[in-house]
Chain A
Amino acid sequence: MFRILNIVLIFAVVIGAAVVFNMKHDAENAAERVARLQRAIDQEEEKIDLLKAEWSVLNQPARLQGLVERYNAYLQLEPLDAKQIASIDDLPTKPIDFTPFNADPLGGYASGGAVIR
């Protein structure tokens, strides 16, 4: 009776140890992977910072102005003139369209003449 119990317990211990070892091994692998990914993220973040700085250097108004001055024969850019700025109210009203809309099955006037729309 005790002997059977002992044997069962010994098996249980061995199996338990094997399972725990396996779990621990998996956990170590996962931790390593987390650390690796974290390092990769950090590196990417550093790269992003560097690229942002580079973007900002390349986008400096002073640099852009220099480039425009050098290549303006091709770019044909001009400084904005105050006369080019207008609000929507400054626009003339839409020109009147005098063509009758006969194609429209429900449109038109009884007279069939030119309509204003």
Chain B
Amino acid sequence: MSLAASDFSPLAAKAPSRAKDARASAVASGSMAEDAGSPARVVVVMAAFALIYGLIALRLVDLGLSEETPASAYIGAQQAILASRPDLVDRNGELLATDIKAPSVYAEPRKIVDVDEAIDKLSSVLPELGSDAMRKRLESNAGFIWLKREITPLQREAIHRLGIPGIGFLTENRRFYPGGPTAGHIVGIANVDEQGIAGLEKYIDGQGIADLQRFGFATDQALKPVKLSMDLRVQHVVRDELTKAMERYRAIATIGIILNVHTGEVMAMSSLPDYDPNDPAEALKPENLNRATVGVYEMGSVFKSFSIAMGLDSGKVTLDSTFDATTPIRIGGFTIHDFHGTRRVLSIPEIFLHSSNIGTAKMTIAVGIDRQQEFFKRIGLLDKVDTELPEVAAPLLPRKWSEITAMTASYGHGLSVSPMQTAVAGAALVNGGLLIEPTFFPRTEADAAKVAKRVISKRVSDMMRYLFRLNAVEGSGRNARVAGYMVGGKTGTADKVVNGRYAHDKRRNSFLAAFPMDDPQYLVLVTIDEPKPEEGKIYATAGMNAAPTVSRIIARVAPMLGVAPHFTGDSDTTLVSY
């Protein structure tokens, strides 16, 4: 038998013995040697089967080892549109801006069977979808169109119940501002695609979130909340008092800023009229712009603080220097008057108290025009403020720094700066002489010291504190006093320019204050645009409206800011040690 098998072919010898037996039996059972095929063919078939089963086995092992893929493609589409932004919180962790989920309804026109029916049904819930334009879009062969972004859960339920094929929902993040208009100008706005378009929302986009969103990383994972330097309670008080001031003095606009003089942190910044960031269309109205940083104004007599600081800093002027303010200055067709005319020789504190234009102008000329320009540049009045807020305007400077320009600039005319700039320069006068760029994010005093620039000496700063306090005790700032908090400040009543001329009945009033004057912590700047005299009063100067507004703000915010009051013969004390 084995001989017979080996006769088939030399190849058979290599085949396994069982095969040989099988073939042997096949041969034995009946002469079917030719039907069994050549042994070579058998081997090829066997190899082929072995290969196939081997592949199946390998694939099974492969499948067994592979990760389970997500169950539905739905998750992918959902993730793609769930762009999210970090929450914004104030310095105490109070929420200023957050994401909330809102459903959006979309259509897949290719899958819609009956467009007319779909539109009829949809417009029963969302009437605005019944338009012809929408019909055209639904009749198109598009794969995906948004019908309406951010609908309410109730509308979603109603549409779901209509049961229209080809209509679906995706959940999107929507930006929500719980405070409404309270901090609108600081926080800014994010649009429907969760991209910041104004305020700090825009700034944080520039810090990398926009890139994360573009590459799909900033999905729904929790992003760390961004903390601002602002205090929501203080911000509310400022806005509340400005609202009341606007009513009381029938003003067209008001601005309020509170700065920490040692760190440059903006504790509050409000500009009325403002807008509710939950309704972004309002932000586009020109009257709602952020006047605190975008508006540039002639700040008026507030600038006398800077001029006198410049004089004291130059060393050519001391507090005992005197300037003759008996007659108005006539120069190049202009006449410089004093509003509170004293018509006598005034010392520096008297110039400050009586807000003498003549005295300030003469002092500036005595010190020198170049020095004035250099000093204004040094305290940041001639350059754009460097801060995080995207909406910042550059000051409007006179074309040529002539003698008359220098004179008018010395009392705050002919040179327009933003209120924020004024506040920052003012802080440098009282904090010991350091110019610190303002910030909307928390900053420690140590960090502030790194960015601070010394602009005046400690001694000049001490003298300025004395003058500010003196003005609140004997001068135009009396109405700004708050028992226990030693407020000091300077008024500014600037005539507004109407049709290229100064109008004497339209004013922009400011009060630049700091407290407590013996160790200043916070600076408050209030500007009131076109105030009218209060009921039963004749004047509408800054001392009559801006100063009392500052007083009301300080009385309310000082305890919140942790400034301890002290009552050692407070209301009439001036500072002696300058």
Residues of A bordering B, CB below 8 Å: 31, 35, 46, 49-50, 52-53, 56-57, 59-62, 65, 79-80, 82-83, 85, 87
Contacts and interface: CB of A to CB of B under 8 A. Distances in A.
B227 to A, nearest CB: 15
Contact of A82 (B95, B240, B559): B559
Contacts, number: 61
B415 to A, nearest CB: 36
B101 A46 contact: yes
Contacts of B240: 62, 65
Contacts of A52: 95, 98
Contact of B484 (A46, A56, A57, A83): A83
A83 B558 CA distance: 12
B178 A82 contact: no
A80 B557 CA distance: 10
Contact of B94 (A49, A56, A62, A83): A56
Nearest to B235: A61
B483 A83 contact: yes
Contacts of B95: 52-53, 56
Contact of A60 (B98, B179, B555, B567): B179
A65 B182 CA distance: 13
A22 B414 CA distance: 88
The DSSP consensus for interface residues of chain B is mixed
The DSSP consensus for interface residues of chain A is helix
B483 A56 contact: no
8 contacts: A52-B98, A53-B100, A56-B178, A60-B178, A60-B182, A60-B236, A62-B179, A83-B567
Given A35-B71, A46-B101, A56-B94, A85 B564 contact: yes
B485 interface: yes
A52 B94 CA distance: 10
B548 to A, nearest CB: 16
Contact of A62 (B101, B182, B555): B182
A79 B556 contact: yes
B236 A49 contact: no
Nearest to B567: A83
Contacts of B558: 82
3 interchain residue pairs of minimum CB distance: A82-B484, A61-B236, A56-B178
B98 A49 contact: yes
Nearest to B565: A82
Contacts of B182: 60-62
Contacts of B483: 82-83
B68 interface: yes
Contacts of B239: 62
A87 B564 CA distance: 9
Interface string B88-121: 0000001100111100000000000000000000
B233 interface: yes
B439 to A, nearest CB: 23
A77 B182 CA distance: 23
Contact of B236 (A50, A56, A62): A62
A53 B232 CA distance: 15
Interface in B527-571: 555-556, 558-559, 564-565, 567
Contacts of B232: 61
Contacts of B556: 79
A82 B555 contact: yes
Contacts of B427: none
A61 B485 CA distance: 23
A61 B233 contact: yes
A21 B219 CA distance: 37
Contacts of B179: 56, 60, 62
A36 B26 CA distance: 62
Contact of B176 (A31, A46, A53, A65): A53
A82 B560 CA distance: 11
B98 A53 contact: yes
B75 to A, nearest CB: 10
Nearest to B243: A62
B245 interface: no
Given A46-B101, A60-B178, A85 B565 contact: yes
Interface string B402-414: 0000000000000
B463 interface: no
A13 B236 CA distance: 76
Nearest to B68: A31
Interface string B61-86: 00000001001000000000000000
Q: Which residue of A50, A56, A87 has the most chain B CB atoms within 10 A of its CB atom?
A: A56
Contacts of A56: 94-95, 98, 178-179
B482 to A, nearest CB: 7
Contacts of A53: 95, 98, 100, 176, 178
Nearest to A31: B68
